[in-house]
Amino acid sequence: MFNTDATGVDQAAGMSLVVFSLVLFTYYSVWVIVLPFVDSDHFLHKYFLPREYSVILPGIAAVILLICIGAFTVVVMWKNRKPKKVD
């Protein structure tokens, strides 16, 4: 069912991506869901950016993702185009 041919480097890279995603998800969830209910003078607030960035940063990431998807699509279509027939 699973490909067991992955090398140690592949497994380490995969595990690091999973850990990074888990840390990022946890940080963002605490920032957006928990922090609004904590007093503004609590020490926890010094570990997080201002709340405005919780909307701005994912928006910028979404724009960059869409640009990369669009660029990939253009490159694939450009490479797979067929030359015009000359009569």
pLDDT digits (tens, 9 = 90+) for 22-74: 999 999 999 999 999 999 899 989 999 998 999 999 999 999 999 999 999 99
83 pLDDT above the threshold of 90:
no
**Predicted TM-score of the model (pTM):** 0.68
List the end-to-end C-alpha distance of the chain, in Å, as a whole number: 52
pLDDT (average), residues 74-82: 90
Task: Tell me, rounded to whole angstroms, the distance of Cα 23 from its chain centroid.
Answer: 12
Q: How far apart are CA 49 and CA 32, in angstroms?
A: 11
Domain ranges within the chain, ordered by starting residue? 1-47, 49-87
Task: Tell me, rounded to whole angstroms, the distance of Cα 48 from its chain centroid.
Answer: 19
CB 68 within 8 A of CB 51: no
